Structure 1
Amino acid sequence: MINFNFFKLIICLLILLPGCSENHKDVYLFSYFTNNGQDGLHLAYSYDGHQWEAVKDGKSLLKPVIGKDRLMRDPSITQGKDGIFRLVWTTGWWDQGIGCASSKDLIHWSEQKNIPVMEHFKETRNTWAPEVFFDDASHLFYIVWASTIPGQFPEIETTSNEKGLNHRLYFTTTTDFKTFSPTSLFYDPGFSVIDGAILKTDSTYMMVIKNEMSVPKEKNLRIVFTKNMADGFPTKVSDNISGNSWVEGPTPLKIGKYIYIYFDKYRDKKYGAIRSLDGKNWEDISESINLPRGIRHGTAFKVSEKILNNLLDNTSGK
């Protein structure tokens, strides 16, 4: 006859042994670029979402080899149910496609490929800041990015450095990164919008966007919610949640009971962050976070401690 208390004690001791629970403990990674994105993918890691350390001493883990400008800006990474990480990025300032690659361990990467998402819209001026999101309800990867197609929407007044850009969010879906749904309009809130990043919390989807209007001056973040990705997001957005700084590259992340949103204060050359318990009331925690110097527009995502430990073991000192 098995002594239940003895069996329970053995299980508890095993859990306490170093390494026994590492597969179950979640940690966090942050994909980002530096300078103009010419040297490729960078990663940082954190155990609490506040203190972040650069992987590989801040060196690039993947060099860009595709696109007119050979850049790897705005790297976005998500992990599918198969355990494979999918990376998408901006390959150049005026390209009509985006880059993609995959990896099982974030160390060894597949061949870099171009997804020609906007090439059939011949007037497309740009394809910026793709975000990849895996929807476990539909088993679909959503790739969302910003593009300007002249004449598609009521023209807006812009400053000289804006070059007349008037963005909307477009998207494609895929299950395998081999075949993709036709590119379609994803989000038109009635103003120039970029940087659509999605987070699922329980049964609700939240999207953070950047209001890109320069006349009147905005350059801030808004949020919007939906219950079903297939229904899209409502066009009415929240008030400004990011303060007075000009910001971009928002990335939402669930840590414990909080929703965090990190963002690039690109004029101030530093990162900011806010957090919320309910998605409505936001607390500025910018002074309590520490990210690698020079970090620009990235994506925060959760991984297992086993993935992180393997990553650190194979990049330390290299």
Structure 2
Amino acid sequence: MKKKIVPFIFLLGFLQNNYAQQIAKDSILIFASFRDNGQDGLHLAYSKDGYKWMALKGDSSFLTPAVSKDKLMRDPCIIKGADRLFHMVWTVSWKDHGIGYASSKDMVHWSAQQFIPVMEQEPTALNCWAPEIIYDAQNKLYMIYWSTTIPGRFAAGDTSGDEKYNHRLYYVTTSDFKKYSPAKLLYDKGFNVIDATIQKVGKKYCMFLKDETLKPLPQKNIRIAWSDHLTYGFGKPSAPITGKYWAEGPTAIQVGKKWIVYFDKYAEEKYGGVESTDLINWKDVSDAIQFPAGTRHGTVIGITSSEFESFFK
């Protein structure tokens, strides 16, 4: 399957010479995910080629969830910060108004877990799902972003999703994981949107997102939006880059000149992927990807081979 996203053709020459998140040849990819309902915590797998993934620690948990009433650890997202620590955020509950946070030097030993009440100012909010984190080097801030439904806040898409949910994307920023900015709206283009992940590409920001529309015509696919700015300005979404199956939880990384976007084919209970060299034309490589059984909604990060040996051997 190949899909051509016409609105972004003008970016082709620019992108080919300005990729971010490029992974060195000797790097190891790490995939953070959860199992079942997220009750046992953080699972990690590794890959040397981006296609075959092997579980670490016998596929047992690296960190048991400890915050919120439900004590879940779903949708973990890990990045390496400017302080050389690994920072992780995750979904703590199906219904809570906050998310989880912890940091680590090696992804094995973690700090005390924090509950960040990102939507405490919205008492009617139904949830805080699939948080992700990115570092803004220019402003020396971390941005955490997630999906929330606030009943009655948006008319568009209010009856098009699953049950009572009509998500939009929100964000906060922090420099120290102690004080956080008030939550602000990050993305609203008149449809139910969830599971965003952002990569810096040259001087632009590329957001992979899930169109969560169910009715009248199901979407449940992954699309792309672009912005010149991290916290605002993301445009209308592209055509789907995934196929005629339901996909969620995208995570992206560049290996060499190739971008790979992984996603949870949750209706089929397996993982899939698409790849591209230009972020315009996409090829489905789901049949070539192998993940540990039961892998659910996760994120990918690259580390050096020396870090891998030090952390996990």
What TM-score results when the alignment is normalised by the length of structure 1?
Answer: 0.88
Map of 2:90 onto structure 1: 89
Question: Shift of the alpha carbon at 1:138?
Answer: 2.7
Matches within 5 A, 1:264-279: 264-279=264-279
Question: Which amino acid in the other structure matches residue 238 of structure 2?
Answer: S
Divergent runs of 4+, >6 A: none
Count, aligned residues: 288
Q: Matches of 2:39 and 2:57 in 1, distance apart?
A: 17
- Match of residue 157, structure 1, among 159, 164, 167: 159
Q: Matches of 1:254 and 1:138 in 2, distance apart?
A: 24
% identity of equivalent residues: 46
Conservation of the 8 A alpha-carbon contact between 2:209 and 2:222? yes
Conservation of the 8 A alpha-carbon contact between 1:87 and 1:100? yes
Matches within 5 A, 1:169-180: 169-180=169-180
Map of 1:294 onto structure 2: 294
Map of 2:233 onto structure 1: 232
Conservation of the 8 A alpha-carbon contact between 1:158 and 1:164? no
Q: Matches of 2:307 and 2:142 in 1, distance apart?
A: 21
Conservation of the 8 A alpha-carbon contact between 1:171 and 1:183? yes
Question: Which amino acid in the other structure matches residue 138 of structure 2?
Answer: A
Map of 2:38 onto structure 1: 37
Q: Which runs of 5+ in 1 are unaligned?
A: 1-22, 314-318
Matches within 5 A, 1:199-238: 199-215=199-215, 216-234=217-235, 236-238=236-238
Question: Shift of the alpha carbon at 1:228?
Answer: 2.4
Question: Which amino acid in the other structure matches residue 75 of structure 1?
Answer: P
Q: Does 1:130 align with 2:167?
A: no
Question: Which amino acid in the other structure matches residue 276 of structure 2?
Answer: S
Conservation of the 8 A alpha-carbon contact between 1:24 and 1:305? no
Q: Matches of 1:185 and 1:230 in 2, distance apart?
A: 9
User: Which digits, 9 at most, give the CA deviation of each residue in 1:81-116, with x for residues without a partner?
Assistant: 111011100001000000000001111110011000
Question: Which amino acid in the other structure matches residue 61 of structure 2?
Answer: S
Higher Cα Rg, which structure: 1
Q: Matches of 2:53 and 2:136 in 1, distance apart?
A: 27
Map of 2:143 onto structure 1: 142
Question: Shift of the alpha carbon at 1:158?
Answer: 4.2
Question: Shift of the alpha carbon at 1:24?
Answer: 9.0
What TM-score results when the alignment is normalised by the length of structure 2?
Answer: 0.89
Q: Matches of 1:256 and 1:179 in 2, distance apart?
A: 37
Question: Shift of the alpha carbon at 1:300?
Answer: 0.5
Question: Shift of the alpha carbon at 1:26?
Answer: 2.0
Question: Which amino acid in the other structure matches residue 184 of structure 1?
Answer: K
Report SS of the residue matched to 1:57: helix
Question: Shift of the alpha carbon at 1:137?
Answer: 3.0
Map of 2:81 onto structure 1: 80
Q: Matches of 1:213 and 1:71 in 2, distance apart?
A: 26
Report SS of the residue matched to 1:78: strand
Question: Shift of the alpha carbon at 1:230?
Answer: 4.3
RMSD: 1.4
